[in-house]
Structure 1
């Protein structure tokens, strides 16, 4: 597969985006870690974009932001593709997400890109990942 699907392709184009992302940036994490990080990144992105679930991460989201209307509608938000890869020193990982949504003005845009960074820690004898504040 050599080209991205056209903008506005909808869910039908998501698989192609996922495949291209994986081909461009080969996996370098254990499958379990990547699965967990991809899920965590998607949840964080949803919280960031829609406001849903921000209270779970008080260190990442300013509590005063919760009173502001979310930037994107929850019912028209979706992750199109996501990968997790090593990024730099000390085991840091980046979760790279491609997503689509309708903003407050009613404009639908796909192919949006967001990165969330995580650092490793150990909880209950197993690795865990701590999301880092966006700077």
Structure 2
């Protein structure tokens, strides 16, 4: 990745040049298709693009990328779980924290992450896995499924 890192950084800096102007931001992973041999290549089962490079991205509601990074494997210095670390890293360039709403899926969402984001004045929403609710007192899954959805 060292060969393309200068281009990667230049593209990211240009995407952030005028600031983060959209209210709704989404953090998710995406795949860049690649079928050759490389140590950073990932395989993710049941995805439209199964083989390739994994990228973490923070985009606006209309798809404009504000921050992104290529996943190169396990980081020995990481203190948080991977999903929480990715969210915190992607949110680094956000200045006006209370003027944005952050959305992410159940890979990233955890009780501890939501507490950390609230302490930093971020408004965040995300689906959650049953085993990551910790101290939250939520309705049982069957009761939630019976309720009507709203926006």
Structure possessing the higher radius of gyration over alpha carbons: 2
Structure whose residues are more often helix by fraction? 1
The two structures share one fold, judged by TM-score above 0.5: no
* Higher relative contact order, chain-length normalized (CA < 8 Å, sep 6+): 1
TM-score (norm 2): 0.27
